[in-house]
């Protein structure tokens, strides 16, 4: 098998085999851009390495030798030769980009002899030894797993001895001394010396990169980003070019557009006289790319020109690494750039306007989970007072939380239900679990392309970085800003859009629709066939839903109208009533309240259907908890003041709570079972609906009520309750008005038996709405309220289930019931309307499935409507 490909042999289509970086290096080489020569070891080689029990196959070693020979010819240098030494970089390159997660070694090929050759060749002794000490450190760190602080301590001491601040001011002799110390440290820590044989260096480095596929941070990153573990990584071996040979050298990263805002300008950072990792690692804070235009105008023009060429070639915003060696520009990498949600949307829309992409291609590009982020949060500016510092606006959105200074604490506190903001001098890939657990992150060092910035943008978390006016001291758990010392646990607010760090808990504001989002949604609406409805329980939510483009209300949970402080006591009266008369009295008080809610909703949704579900939860949910009542009673018994009347009342309440107690309330007296046993409750709700309809029709609105019966499991349940609806409608509206109120009666399908007997049930239903929360609960037999915390997380961690079935619809099981019900229902009644209103209605994968099986609509929370509109369009493309 061919396991090694020269850059001139591959192309962009070979991503699975060469990894993203390798495929793109090959593509750039083919396009004639200046890329230092090199070769890629395939992902397949990585698999065989692990298959052979972590050993490099003989055949691979042979192919690597041949590739090195070719590289020697191409570069005119010799690997391990003391007079014209060839140096290479060894970098990971997975199929899906995982920035900073895996390992890299630079300057490989240096040893005690070749370093002298490099010094002579470049006429720069200081430079050569600087390269060598970097190699020994990276090698020790990556290959032998020696913690960086061992080396950093030594470097720190050297700089103190030489009385210099910056690395580039250390003398050649200083570096030579440091190298000896590094080598000693390496021998002590690793138990073996730094290898002088350059081929051994290469083999160990390739192995280390393979192994880094399975390091902790890479595993966590894959899990978050749903990257399959079996992909493996490729390794790129490339001849070195040097950005650190003097002031006519440099290195940097550019994005072809601003990755935070999407603005169409070259964006990026660079450092003069520095080597690759210095920019990304955030050790020195780099210069904005615009100053390169002044410092090296020709290089800037060449860079800008090639960047645009690359963007056109890939039809997407590119993230490009470059190095300037003695006035000559080289490209080291290009890839589709990570970007904020806002930028993603703007770029996708702009690329259509610039005629680079079609509308459908552009729609396909939208990562719907990112839209969530767009539709949230800015600061309530009026409340902003104490701005502690302004750093770089690295990832937009506002976040509020309590300050923590290390990733583990972030995880611990967030597990305990606290919101946290992670503050670090800089972040490294080791902090990734902390980033994930926090609301946002702030760093004092590093630029817009530093690790914290890149990762936060990818996760959609607000981030402020390079906040140099503050000191973040993790050892003391304190953030220092001038005189102010802010300790762990203090509330802090970040604004990732402006870079502000603000003391205290500032109220956040929901985001508004942007021009770009509106355009994208319009394109989506032109394409999609699936309708998008909202789950909304009150006029305010209905209004928001309509603004976001809801085509109707798919679920109004009427019990949510019962929970306000004014209404709850009346609802309790209704439940506690000893006689039907008492219950009717309480219901009469509730009627006008419900009516006014419905009027508000009908007005907001003028001309669109409003699906109202009759009361669903078990009644005990409206009563106080038994333990609380018991405690109150105990207190009363000891309280001399009490006449006994209150005690009597409490005891009655406790008896009632006891009588409503059920062992399995979710399988108990709820849903339509309530309406059957206490028809007066549903009677009141139906009357309120039609009275409201009547009034709003009189105001000139078009009202389309759809009355929905929950938890039906037997056709007779629906039959009886449908008759009730028709009778009340007739009574309230009268025959004439009924004609102006084209109401429907339908049922939720959320009990498996309902799905199985859909043929009988459809005879009495105008529509089916799949309540996939309960349907999932009852199909799996998993309690929707407990499963996640008890065993489901374990199941998902151990890959027993591909997803949490309460988030992503289980198409194999629950889906079968849905498909069966749709087919059976439509056979009986062609006009039967089908939709879904469980949580799955706002989940991308589930929406794709709903489209596939021919549902008419999905219904989801108002804020997810834009996401659902785009996902519904993507499902058609
Ligand atoms: C459902 O069960 O899917 C549903 C929408 O109803 P609820 O979540 O109110 O039980
Ligand atoms: Mg339900």
Taking alpha carbons only, the member of 387, 478, 388 closest to residue 425 is: 478
Q: Is 750 annotated as a binding residue?
A: yes
pTM of the model: 0.75
Q: Which residues surround ligand 2, an ion (CB under 5 A)?
A: 750, 771, 774
305-329 residue pLDDT tens? 999 999 999 999 999 999 999 999 9
Which of 219, 239, 259 terminates a domain? The answer is: 239
- CATH (domain of 472): 3.50.30.10
For residue 505, pLDDT over 90 is answered with yes
Residues 315 and 423 in one domain: no
Which of 182, 214, 239 terminates a domain? The answer is: 239
**Does residue 32 sit within a domain?**
no
Q: What is the mean pLDDT of residues 287-316?
A: 94
Taking alpha carbons only, the member of 60, 860, 99 closest to residue 429 is: 99
Taking alpha carbons only, the member of 383, 381, 407 closest to residue 420 is: 407
Residues present in the chain in total: 877
Atom 8 (ligand 1) nearest CA = 773
Residues 429 and 441 in one domain: yes
H helices of 641-792, where?
645-660, 672-677, 679-698, 715-738, 752-756, 758-762, 772-780, 787
**Does residue 128 sit within a domain?**
yes
Q: CA-to-CA distance for 538 and 603, rounded, in angstroms?
A: 11
- Going from the Cα of 224 to the center of ligand 2, the distance in angstroms, rounded, reads 30
Residues 797 and 819 in one domain: yes
Residues 495 and 395 in one domain: yes
In this prediction, residue 449 has a pLDDT band, given cuts at 50, 70 and 90, of low
Residues 683 and 821 in one domain: yes
Q: To which residue do tokens 């929406």 refer?
A: 847
For residue 729, pLDDT over 90 is answered with yes
Residue-averaged pLDDT of the chain: 91
Domain count for the chain, please give it.
5
> What pLDDT, on a 0 to 100 scale, did the predictor assign at position 804?
87
Ligand closest to the CA atom of residue 615: 1
In this prediction, residue 728 has a pLDDT band, given cuts at 50, 70 and 90, of very high
Q: CA-to-CA distance for 103 and 119, rounded, in angstroms?
A: 27
Q: Is 557 annotated as a binding residue?
A: yes
Atom 9 (ligand 1) nearest CA = 557
In this prediction, residue 277 has a pLDDT band, given cuts at 50, 70 and 90, of low
The closest-lying atom of ligand 1 relative to the alpha carbon of residue 838 is: 3
Rg (CA), the chain: 33
CB of 750 sitting under 6 A from ligand 1: yes
- Assembly ipTM: 0.99
For residue 789, pLDDT over 80 is answered with no
> What pLDDT, on a 0 to 100 scale, did the predictor assign at position 458?
61
The closest-lying atom of ligand 1 relative to the alpha carbon of residue 557 is: 9
Q: Is 772 annotated as a binding residue?
A: yes
CB of 771 sitting under 6 A from ligand 1: yes
**Does residue 614 sit within a domain?**
yes
Q: Is 774 annotated as a binding residue?
A: yes
What range defines the domain where residue 494 resides? 376-450+463-509
3-state SS, residue 322: strand
354-382 residue pLDDT tens? 999 999 999 999 988 777 667 767 888 78
Residues 705 and 643 in one domain: no
Atom 4 (ligand 1) nearest CA = 771
**Does residue 457 sit within a domain?**
no
- Going from the Cα of 369 to the center of ligand 2, the distance in angstroms, rounded, reads 25
**Does residue 346 sit within a domain?**
no
Ligand closest to the CA atom of residue 776: 1
CB of 350 sitting under 6 A from ligand 1: no
> What pLDDT, on a 0 to 100 scale, did the predictor assign at position 753?
98
In this prediction, residue 623 has a pLDDT band, given cuts at 50, 70 and 90, of confident
Residues 215 and 279 in one domain: no
642-693 residue pLDDT tens? 678 888 888 988 998 999 999 998 899 999 999 999 999 999 999 999 999 9
**Does residue 845 sit within a domain?**
yes
Residues 442 and 406 in one domain: yes
Q: What is the mean pLDDT of residues 404-426?
A: 93
CB of 774 sitting under 6 A from ligand 1: yes
CB of 537 sitting under 6 A from ligand 1: no
Q: Which residues form the catalytic set? A: 451, 837
Residues 502 and 649 in one domain: no
> What pLDDT, on a 0 to 100 scale, did the predictor assign at position 77?
93
- CATH (domain of 297): 3.30.470.20
CB of 772 sitting under 6 A from ligand 1: yes
In this prediction, residue 101 has a pLDDT band, given cuts at 50, 70 and 90, of confident
- Going from the Cα of 671 to the center of ligand 2, the distance in angstroms, rounded, reads 8
Residues 702 and 749 in one domain: yes
- CATH (domain of 136): 1.20.80.30
Q: Is 773 annotated as a binding residue?
A: yes
CB of 754 sitting under 6 A from ligand 1: no
404-413 residue pLDDT tens? 999 999 999 9
Q: CA-to-CA distance for 334 and 321, rounded, in angstroms?
A: 6
% of the chain beyond a pLDDT of 90: 71
**Does residue 215 sit within a domain?**
yes
- Going from the Cα of 248 to the center of ligand 2, the distance in angstroms, rounded, reads 68
Residues 712 and 788 in one domain: yes
Residues 691 and 797 in one domain: yes
Q: CA-to-CA distance for 140 and 182, rounded, in angstroms?
A: 9
**Does residue 865 sit within a domain?**
yes
> What pLDDT, on a 0 to 100 scale, did the predictor assign at position 283?
62
Which of 195, 214, 239 terminates a domain? The answer is: 239
């Amino acid at each position: 098998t061919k396991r090694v490909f020269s850059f001139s042999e591959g192309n962009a289509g070979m991503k699975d085999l060469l990894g993203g970086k390798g495929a793109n290096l090959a593509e750039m080489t083919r396009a004639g851009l200046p890329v230092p020569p090199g070769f890629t070891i395939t992902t397949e080689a990585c698999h065989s390495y692990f298959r052979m029990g972590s050993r490099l196959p003989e055949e691979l070693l042979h192919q690597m030798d041949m590739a090195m020979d070719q590289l020697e010819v191409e570069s005119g240098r010799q690997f391990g030769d003391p007079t014209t030494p060839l140096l290479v970089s060894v970098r990971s390159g997975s199929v899906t980009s995982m920035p900073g997660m895996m390992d890299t070694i630079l300057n490989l090929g240096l040893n005690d002899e070749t370093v002298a050759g490099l010094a002579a060749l470049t006429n720069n002794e200081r430079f050569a030894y600087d390269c060598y000490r970097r190699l020994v450190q990276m090698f020790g760190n990556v290959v032998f797993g020696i913690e960086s602080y061992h080396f950093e301590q030594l470097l720190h001491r050297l700089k103190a001895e030489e009385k210099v601040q910056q690395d580039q001011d250390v003398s050649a002799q200083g570096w030579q001394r440091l190298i000896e110390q590094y080598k000693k440290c390496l021998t002590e820590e690793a138990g073996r010396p730094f290898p002088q044989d350059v081929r051994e260096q290469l083999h160990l480095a390739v192995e280390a990169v393979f192994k880094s596929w399975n390091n902790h941070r890479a595993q966590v990153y894959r899990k978050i980003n749903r990257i399959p573990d079996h992909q493996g990584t490729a390794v790129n071996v490339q001849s070195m070019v040097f950005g650190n040979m003097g002031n006519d050298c440099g290195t940097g990263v550019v994005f072809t557009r601003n990755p935070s805002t999407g603005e169409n300008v070259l964006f990026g950072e660079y450092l003069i006289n520095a080597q690759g990792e210095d920019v990304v690692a955030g050790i020195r804070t780099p210069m904005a790319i615009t100053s390169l235009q002044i410092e090296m105008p020709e290089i800037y023009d060449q860079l800008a020109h090639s960047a645009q060429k690359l963007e056109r070639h890939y039809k997407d915003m590119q993230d490009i690494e470059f190095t300037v060696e003695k006035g000559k520009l080289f490209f080291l990498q290009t890839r589709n750039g990570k970007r904020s949600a806002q930028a993603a949307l703007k770029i996708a829309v702009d690329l259509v306007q610039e005629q680079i992409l079609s509308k459908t291609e552009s729609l396909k590009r939208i990562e719907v989970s990112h839209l969530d982020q767009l539709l949230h949060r800015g600061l309530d500016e009026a409340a902003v007072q104490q701005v502690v510092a302004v750093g770089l606006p690295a990832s937009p959105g506002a976040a509020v939380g309590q300050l923590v200074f290390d990733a583990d604490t972030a995880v611990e506190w967030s597990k305990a239900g606290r919101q946290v903001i992670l503050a670090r001098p800089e972040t490294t890939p080791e902090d990734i679990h902390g980033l994930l657990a926090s609301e946002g992150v702030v760093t004092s060092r590093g630029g817009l392309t530093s690790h914290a910035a890149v990762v936060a943008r990818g996760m959609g978390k607000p981030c402020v970085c390079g906040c140099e006016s503050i000191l973040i001291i993790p050892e003391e758990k304190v953030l220092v800003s001038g005189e102010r010392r802010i300790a762990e646990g203090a509330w802090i607010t970040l604004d990732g859009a402006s870079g502000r760090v603000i003391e205290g808990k500032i109220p956040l504001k929901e985001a508004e629709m942007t021009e770009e989002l509106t355009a994208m949604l319009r394109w989506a609406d032109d394409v999609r066939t699936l309708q998008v409805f909202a789950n909304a329980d009150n006029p305010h939510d209905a209004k928001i839903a309509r603004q976001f483009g809801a085509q109707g209300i798919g679920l109004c949970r009427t019990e949510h109208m019962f929970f306000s402080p004014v209404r709850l006591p009346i609802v309790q009266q209704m439940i506690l009533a000893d006689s039907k008369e008492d219950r009717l009295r309480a219901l009469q008080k509730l009627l006008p309240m419900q009516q006014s809610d419905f009027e508000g909703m009908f007005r907001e949704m003028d001309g669109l259907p409003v699906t109202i579900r009759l009361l669903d939860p078990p009644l005990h949910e409206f009563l106080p908890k038994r333990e609380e009542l018991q405690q109150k009673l105990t207190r009363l018994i000891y309280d001399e003041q009490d006449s006994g009347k209150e005690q009597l009342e409490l005891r009655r309440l406790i008896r009632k709570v006891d009588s409503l107690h059920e062992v399995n309330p979710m399988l108990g007296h709820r849903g339509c079972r309530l309406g059957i046993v206490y028809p007066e409750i549903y009677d009141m709700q139906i009357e309120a609906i039609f009275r409201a309809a009547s009034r709003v029709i009189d105001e000139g609105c078009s009202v389309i009520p759809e009355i929905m019966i929950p938890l039906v499991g037997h056709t007779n349940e629906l039959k009886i309750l449908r008759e009730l609806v028709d009778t009340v409608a007739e009574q309230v509206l009268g025959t004439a008005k009924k004609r102006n109120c084209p109401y429907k009666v339908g049922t939720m399908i959320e009990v498996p038996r309902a799905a199985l007997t859909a043929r009988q049930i459809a005879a009495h239903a105008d529509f089916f709405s799949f309540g996939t929360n309960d349907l999932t609960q009852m199909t799996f037999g998993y309690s929707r309220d407990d499963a996640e915390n008890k065993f489901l997380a374990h199941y998902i961690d151990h890959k027993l289930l591909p997803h949490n079935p309460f988030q992503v619809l289980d198409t194999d099981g629950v889906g079968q019931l849905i498909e069966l019900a749709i087919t059976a229902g439509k056979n009986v009644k062609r006009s039967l309307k089908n939709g879904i209103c469980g949580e799955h209605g706002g989940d991308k994968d589930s929406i794709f499935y709903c489209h596939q099986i021919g549902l008419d609509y999905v219904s989801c929370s108002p804020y997810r409507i834009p996401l659902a509109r785009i996902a519904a369009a993507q499902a058609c493309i």
